[in-house]
């Protein structure tokens, strides 16, 4: 690949690794370690015939990783968090490791991977292991991650949906997640559009392996998901989507000077997005390009007919003088356009 290519907003463009295979790393992120970018995500595989009522994305492989020096040529590094074929195991496939995110803990010297875990048979539900956060650790960025289990932040009452993890400049880390608490009258029978649903920020413990009791409900962000975080000039930004499953919808961003304080709704960052669909994508993650000011928003164009052929759309974030942010769609772009 010579440039980041996205095509028209209704096109699915394939990105290939250095072996010529389609890059299959859904909803993940990029972490820079000792001169190399590592891109990881859930490897999507075709749906089993009996995949249940919800369908959608799941894995029979695990979380995979690719590496690159230039963000364009990606070499496959293999599976870093593997599923098993043991029906007794929490990792029995198909399952979901949705929206996996890796951060490095400078004190313990471990890489910590969090994800939205949905156990076999990978249907979003409300029961134990159907709406949880999973965590795994590794001594090296691209080794085999050890699964430590799953749990829920705050209390067992709030179901976990989309999430991300963020490490700030003080090395404090947070999980940001879409928490759904049932309507008390309906209890566990609550459907997708009842009860209380809102983004929350929860501080992680010093080793990043568990939750603390310090958290904030982002009152301005009810019924939002797919959170991705950027930081610039003293402001944190969350870019989110609405809740329409695999159908794309209009993005909305929020900003704050402190992750655990109030967040201000600053509207849709997408410029000239005439279809109000985040350019027919949904956000995944933001990463920084080393030794530059550039921050890139990773988005995905879901291909519901064939999930492993979904497309990646990476757009530079523009940080405006009034401390708002913008995303502009381009069919092709190069890093040199922005440096
Ligand atoms: C999307 C969400 C994805 C996944 C999907 C499942 O709205 O952003 O992460 O959970 O729904 O239906």
Give the model confidence (pLDDT) of 114-151 as tens digits: 999 999 989 888 899 999 999 999 999 999 999 999 99
Please report which helix (H) or strand (E) contains residue 329, including its range. Answer: none
Q: Are 200 and 221 in contact (CB under 8 A)?
A: no
The pLDDT value given to residue 183 = 78
Closest CA to 256 of 163, 154, 168: 168
Closest CA to 103 of 114, 92, 94: 114
> Into how many domains does the chain fold?
1
195 lines ligand 1 (CB under 6 A): no
Specify if 7 maps to a domain: no
Atom of ligand 1 nearest to the CA of 245: 7
273 lines ligand 1 (CB under 6 A): no
Specify if 113 maps to a domain: yes
Specify if 288 maps to a domain: yes
Specify if 339 maps to a domain: no
Atom of ligand 1 nearest to the CA of 282: 8
226 lines ligand 1 (CB under 6 A): yes
Cα of 182 vs centre of ligand 1, distance in Å, is 18
Q: Are 23 and 1 in contact (CB under 8 A)?
A: no
Q: How far is CA 122 from the centre of its chain?
A: 17
Give pTM, 2 decimals.
0.96
Specify if 9 maps to a domain: no
The pLDDT value given to residue 55 = 54
The pLDDT value given to residue 187 = 65
Specify if 87 maps to a domain: yes
Torsion of CA 263, 111, 59, 96, to 10 degrees: -40
Which amino acid residue places its CA nearest to atom 10 of ligand 1? Answer: 162
Sheet holding 173-181, edge to edge: 159-167, 173-181, 196-204, 211-222
Give phi and psi for 289, each to the nearest 5: -90, 120
121 lines ligand 1 (CB under 6 A): no
Closest CA to 163 of 231, 96, 115: 115
Residue 334: how many other CB atoms lie within 10 Å: 12
Whether omega for the bond prior to residue 121 falls within 30 degrees of 0, making it cis, is: yes
98 lines ligand 1 (CB under 6 A): yes
Q: Residues of the chain whose pLDDT is less than 70?
A: 46-56, 187-193
Cα of 243 vs centre of ligand 1, distance in Å, is 8
* DSSP category for residue 33: E
Which amino acid residue places its CA nearest to atom 6 of ligand 1? Answer: 245
Domain range for 74 is 14-334
Specify if 119 maps to a domain: yes
Atom of ligand 1 nearest to the CA of 244: 7
The enclosing domain of 90 has a CATH number of: 2.115.10.20
Specify if 3 maps to a domain: no
Q: Are 190 and 125 in contact (CB under 8 A)?
A: no
Region label for 110, one of left (φ > 0), alpha (ψ between -120 and 50) or beta (otherwise)? beta
The pLDDT value given to residue 289 = 97
Q: Are 46 and 117 in contact (CB under 8 A)?
A: no
The pLDDT value given to residue 200 = 98
42 lines ligand 1 (CB under 6 A): no
Is 204 exposed, middle or buried, given 0-12, 13-18 or 19+ CB atoms closer than 10 A? Answer: buried
Sheet holding 132-138, edge to edge: 96-105, 110-118, 132-138, 146-151
130 lines ligand 1 (CB under 6 A): no
Please report which helix (H) or strand (E) contains residue 272, including its range. Answer: none
């Amino acid at each position: 690949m010579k440039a980041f290519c996205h095509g028209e907003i209704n096109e699915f463009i394939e990105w290939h690794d250095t072996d010529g295979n389609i890059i299959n790393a859904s909803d993940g992120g990029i972490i820079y370690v000792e001169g190399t970018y590592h891109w990881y995500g859930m490897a999507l595989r075709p749906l089993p015939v009996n995949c249940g009522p919800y369908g959608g994305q799941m894995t029979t492989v695990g979380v995979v990783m690719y590496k690159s020096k230039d963000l364009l040529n990606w070499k496959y590094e293999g599976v870093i968090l593997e599923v098993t074929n043991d029906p007794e195991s929490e990792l029995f496939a198909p399952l979901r490791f949705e929206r996996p995110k890796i951060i490095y803990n400078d004190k313990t010297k471990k890489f910590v991977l969090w994800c939205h875990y949905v156990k076999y048979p990978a249907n979003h539900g409300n029961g134990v292991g159907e709406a949880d956060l999973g965590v795994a650790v590794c001594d090296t960025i691209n080794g085999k991650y050890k699964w430590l289990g799953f749990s829920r932040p705050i209390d067992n009452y709030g179901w976990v949906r989309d999430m991300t993890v963020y490490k700030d400049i003080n090395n404090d880390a947070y999980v940001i997640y879409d928490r759904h608490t049932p309507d008390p009258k309906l209890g566990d029978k609550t459907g997708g559009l009842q009860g209380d649903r809102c983004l929350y920020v929860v501080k992680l413990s010093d080793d990043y392996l568990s939750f603390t009791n310090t958290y904030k409900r982002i009152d301005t962000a009810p019924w939002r998901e797919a959170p991705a975080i950027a930081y610039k000039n003293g402001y944190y930004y969350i870019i989110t989507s609405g809740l329409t499953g695999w159908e794309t919808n209009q993005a909305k961003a929020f900003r704050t000077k402190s992750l655990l304080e109030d967040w201000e709704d600053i509207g849709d960052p997408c410029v000239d997005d005439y279809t109000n669909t985040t350019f027919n994508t949904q956000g995944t993650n933001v990463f920084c390009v080393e030794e530059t000011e550039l921050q890139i928003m990773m988005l995905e164009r879901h291909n519901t007919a064939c999930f492993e052929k979904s497309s990646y759309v990476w757009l530079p974030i523009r940080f405006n003088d009034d401390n708002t942010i913008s995303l502009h769609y381009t069919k092709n772009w190069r890093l040199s356009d922005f440096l």
